A and B are shown apart, each in its own frame.
Chain A
Amino acid sequence: MTHSAPASVEATLEMLTSRGYLAERSLATVLFLALRMGRPLFLEGEAGVGKTEIAKVLSASLGRKLIRLQCYEGLDVASAVYEWNSAAQMIAIRLAEAAGDTDREQLSSDIFAERYLIKRPLLQALEPDTGGAPVLLIDELDRADEAFEAYLLEILSDFQVTIPEFGTIKAPSPPIVIVTSNRTREIHDALKRRCLYHWVDYPDAARELAIVKSRVPGISAKLSQQVVAFVQALREQDFYKSPGVAETLDWATALTELDARALTAQVVGDTLGALLKYQDDIAKMQGPALDKVLKEATSD
């Protein structure tokens, strides 16, 4: 069932909260604006801060279909937008031949018809949908190469795709577009200009605590407090990759699975791999360094 877009920033915030996404007000503001202005929303930030999650929450709370395009190096039009079903076309040609059909013009227009078109995520997102325009998530755009980024320009500004043999397909109502990037390279200004931009930061302690409580059921108040204090302290250290919210949630879940009631040097040491993903970072957190952070986190 389709729900209408929120009417104010407060309503947007409420909508996100009701789905368990505890957002900063600034994020709710840009999200609200993106919905109202029909602009793509470009979310940038470290890995694991909840950029992808926003698209999922949005699709669930608006009752729209979620179409996800995961980007990778070498992603091309054939796998992102459309492809012709060549095998079926070939058979159609042979059939026409067998039937003695020799009208080339006719054959050409038969072959390049919609039923031979294989629609990939971007084209699907432009299709009319009775449930309302879908949410299109273009995930980790920084992993695709520049050539693909340039191709997106037409889609993101006019919500249309041009297929040389077929014509231009334009969305009757533009999809809600969320673009995410982890900044493994810079995205060109031309693309960013077409979007509203928001940098998703790590949450502060209070918000992170609320997120842990809502996402990890059954966690004790004491443990959740210590977990958040520990992670917040880790983010102040000089690591190659600081833990994101996703890592905090993983860790909290791991600790509850292990029936831990409170943080101890032993249990933290055993589960540190849920938080830190680089050997150098883990090595840095051994012995006295770990004890120091642990002491801070469990002091109150």
Chain B
Amino acid sequence: MTDIDHLNPPTGQMADNVIGFARALRAAGLPVGPGAVIDALNAIQLIEIGNRADLFATLQAVFVKRHEHALIFAQAFDLFFRAAEDWKHMLDSIPLPDHAKKKPKPASRRVQEALSQPAVQDVPAAQEQELRLSVSDKEILQKKDFAQMSAAEIAQVTRAIANMRLPQAELRTRRFQPDPRGLKLDLRRTLRGSLRTGGDIVDIRRLGLIDKPAPIVALLDISGSMSEYTRLFLHFLHAITDARKRVSVFLFGTRLTNVTRALRARDPDEALASCTSAVEDWAGGTRISASLHAFNKQWARRVLGQGAIVLLISDGLEREADGKLAFEMDRLHRSCRRLIWLNPLLRFGGFEARAQGIKMMLPHVDEFRPVHNLTSMAALIAALSSVPPPHHFSAIRPAA
């Protein structure tokens, strides 16, 4: 085994190139830390540098820690270490590419965008208005449809949403923790305690099972027909992502995008902006069936395994409603613990499931709820903390 000297990593032209390459990867969005760079420098000393494939595999093993990044890595590698007859020579002499030398800081563009936005003046106005709001105004706001709100009202609702917290303990794990009312005897702690009294067991310690929050997976429809709601739902999802660890969020219109990481940013505006930039089909058409298929195939096994609750937020207006939609819904329903469909269309008191897509999806959900105002969002949170109903669809609930 070769010892890794973290304080004195190898230096030289080749080292500079690897460092430059690492910087290029970082600029392309890969999480490449300084530790990985030192690893890479040590690793390339171990292989024969003349073999391009080996260098590729070596750097990949060090820099890529997720399968999704492999493609970006491969492209970056091709660009950086361009094929050449004697490319070992190239590796020794290649100058740092310009983009690696002076890459713009990722924040600067956002700052520029933020500075150039004229909407900045709206914020103090909204705050001022909130101060003037009476209690009854707030009541009205609770029940007002998100789609009918003014910009100032939306700003207030956003703040209310940011304070929403999902209840925590829900899922019983198979892991134990000290618990005086637990059922299992904690021999280890009992014994340690008994030593204090010279071996007499005075105090019997117990263990109980740990409860932890069930993972939540949200599938949010961002098609054109949902556009008045998506931003607020994203705020809602950001608020619950902030407070719990295991929340995964996917956006879908014509295609599915995983925005879980993007939503992790502390600041809601920053999180929403990175969500928006991750999605290519914002406010376009809807292909629920295809998106659910993509989810079932690529993600279901990875995010639903731990008894997840699925929130499907969509109006269910699917153009290509056929047998496939029912099939994918059924599969989704069978892979999760509880499937809750949140549909803003339910705001209409006399809602009837007439659209073909909605009819196909309804038999496969456990609950069907409205989400169009603060009251219904609060009701959702209350429902999530209650004991889950049996695993079948019960009844359409009237609008709150």
List of B residues within 8 angstroms of A90 by Cβ: 191
B191 close to A37 (CB less than 8 A): no
Interface string of B242-259 (1 = CB under 8 A from A): 000100000000000000
Least CB separation from A92: chain B residue: B199
List of A residues within 8 angstroms of B4 by Cβ: 37
In the complex, whether A172 has a CB less than 8 A from a CB of chain B is no
Least CB separation from B330: chain A residue: A280
Q: How long is the Cα–Cα vector from A280 to B332 in the complex, in angstroms?
A: 13
B57 close to A26 (CB less than 8 A): yes
List of B residues within 8 angstroms of A36 by Cβ: 1-2, 46
Taking the closest CB of chain A, its distance from the CB of B373, in whole angstroms, is 34
Interface positions, chain B 36-54, Cβ under 8 Å from A, are 36, 39, 42-43, 46-48, 51, 53-54
A185 close to B58 (CB less than 8 A): no
Taking the closest CB of chain A, its distance from the CB of B317, in whole angstroms, is 25
A184 close to B61 (CB less than 8 A): no
A37 close to B198 (CB less than 8 A): no
Given the known inter-chain contacts A94-B199, A165-B192, A186-B302, please indicate yes or no for A197 contacting B175, CB distance below 8 A: no
Contact among A93, A183, A196 with B61 in the assembled complex (CB-CB below 8 Å): A196
List of B residues within 8 angstroms of A39 by Cβ: 39
Q: How long is the Cα–Cα vector from A198 to B64 in the complex, in angstroms?
A: 8
Q: How long is the Cα–Cα vector from A52 to B300 in the complex, in angstroms?
A: 23
Taking the closest CB of chain B, its distance from the CB of A108, in whole angstroms, is 5
Least CB separation from A9: chain B residue: B54
B173 close to A145 (CB less than 8 A): yes
A193 close to B191 (CB less than 8 A): no
In the complex, whether B107 has a CB less than 8 A from a CB of chain A is no
Interface string of A205-238 (1 = CB under 8 A from B): 0000000000000000000000000000000001
Taking the closest CB of chain B, its distance from the CB of A89, in whole angstroms, is 6
B36 close to A193 (CB less than 8 A): yes
Interface positions, chain B 56-72, Cβ under 8 Å from A, are 56-58, 60-62, 64-67, 70
Interface segment out of the listed A57-65, A96-104, A262-270: A96-104
List of B residues within 8 angstroms of A142 by Cβ: 305
Most chain B CB within a 10 A radius of its CB, from A9, A33, A39, A146: A33
Least CB separation from A35: chain B residue: B1
A37 close to B65 (CB less than 8 A): no
B198 close to A184 (CB less than 8 A): no
Taking the closest CB of chain A, its distance from the CB of B245, in whole angstroms, is 8
B195 close to A111 (CB less than 8 A): yes
User: Interface residue tally of chain B, by bracket?
Assistant: 35 or more
Interface positions, chain B 319-350, Cβ under 8 Å from A, are 327, 331
A37 close to B174 (CB less than 8 A): no
Given the known inter-chain contacts A107-B199, A197-B61, please indicate yes or no for A9 contacting B47, CB distance below 8 A: yes
Contact among B187, B198, B331 with A102 in the assembled complex (CB-CB below 8 Å): B198
Contact among A9, A25, A32, A197 with B64 in the assembled complex (CB-CB below 8 Å): A197
List of B residues within 8 angstroms of A183 by Cβ: 67, 301-302
Q: How long is the Cα–Cα vector from A221 to B219 in the complex, in angstroms?
A: 49
In the complex, whether B196 has a CB less than 8 A from a CB of chain A is yes
Q: How long is the Cα–Cα vector from A193 to B38 in the complex, in angstroms?
A: 12
In the complex, whether A192 has a CB less than 8 A from a CB of chain B is yes
Most chain B CB within a 10 A radius of its CB, from A42, A182, A183, A189: A183
In the complex, whether B194 has a CB less than 8 A from a CB of chain A is yes
In the complex, whether A18 has a CB less than 8 A from a CB of chain B is no
Interface string of A66-95 (1 = CB under 8 A from B): 000000011010000000101001100110
In the complex, whether B188 has a CB less than 8 A from a CB of chain A is yes
Contact among B35, B195, B302 with A184 in the assembled complex (CB-CB below 8 Å): B302
Given the known inter-chain contacts A36-B1, A74-B174, A86-B188, please indicate yes or no for A107 contacting B43, CB distance below 8 A: no
B57 close to A97 (CB less than 8 A): no
Q: How long is the Cα–Cα vector from A26 to B74 in the complex, in angstroms?
A: 13
A30 close to B57 (CB less than 8 A): yes
Contact among A38, A107, A147, A185 with B303 in the assembled complex (CB-CB below 8 Å): A185
In the complex, whether B351 has a CB less than 8 A from a CB of chain A is no
Most chain A CB within a 10 A radius of its CB, from B1, B2, B31, B42: B1
Q: How long is the Cα–Cα vector from A197 to B35 in the complex, in angstroms?
A: 15
List of B residues within 8 angstroms of A145 by Cβ: 173, 175, 306
In the complex, whether B297 has a CB less than 8 A from a CB of chain A is yes
Taking the closest CB of chain A, its distance from the CB of B141, in whole angstroms, is 38
Q: How long is the Cα–Cα vector from A97 to B195 in the complex, in angstroms?
A: 11
A37 close to B297 (CB less than 8 A): no
A193 close to B35 (CB less than 8 A): yes
A111 close to B61 (CB less than 8 A): no
A33 close to B176 (CB less than 8 A): no
Q: How long is the Cα–Cα vector from A33 to B42 in the complex, in angstroms?
A: 10
B57 close to A192 (CB less than 8 A): no
A74 close to B175 (CB less than 8 A): yes
List of B residues within 8 angstroms of A193 by Cβ: 33, 35-36, 65
Contact among A104, A174, A280 with B198 in the assembled complex (CB-CB below 8 Å): A104
Taking the closest CB of chain A, its distance from the CB of B118, in whole angstroms, is 39
Q: How long is the Cα–Cα vector from A265 to B201 in the complex, in angstroms?
A: 71
Q: How long is the Cα–Cα vector from A39 to B337 in the complex, in angstroms?
A: 38
Q: How long is the Cα–Cα vector from A185 to B300 in the complex, in angstroms?
A: 9
List of A residues within 8 angstroms of B47 by Cβ: 9, 29, 32-33
Contact among B39, B194, B195, B331 with A37 in the assembled complex (CB-CB below 8 Å): B39
Interface string of A140-151 (1 = CB under 8 A from B): 001001110000
Interface positions, chain A 166-193, Cβ under 8 Å from B, are 174, 182-186, 189, 192-193
Taking the closest CB of chain A, its distance from the CB of B63, in whole angstroms, is 9
Least CB separation from A38: chain B residue: B1
13 A-B pairs whose Cβ atoms sit less than 8 Å apart in the complex: A9-B51, A29-B54, A29-B58, A74-B174, A94-B199, A102-B198, A104-B195, A182-B301, A189-B31, A192-B65, A193-B33, A196-B61, A280-B327
Query: A residues near B, CB below 8 A?
Result: 8-9, 25-26, 29-30, 32-33, 35-39, 42, 44, 73-74, 76, 84, 86, 89-90, 93-94, 96-97, 102, 104, 107-108, 111, 142, 145-147, 165, 174, 182-186, 189, 192-193, 196-199, 238, 240, 280
- Which 3 residue pairs of A and B lie closest in terms of their CB atoms, listed nearest first? A74-B174, A86-B187, A29-B57
Instruction: Give me 14 other A-B pairs in contact (C-beta within 8 A), A37-B1, A39-B39, A93-B191 excluded.
Output: A33-B46, A33-B58, A84-B187, A97-B199, A104-B198, A111-B195, A185-B302, A189-B65, A192-B65, A192-B66, A196-B61, A197-B64, A197-B65, A238-B297
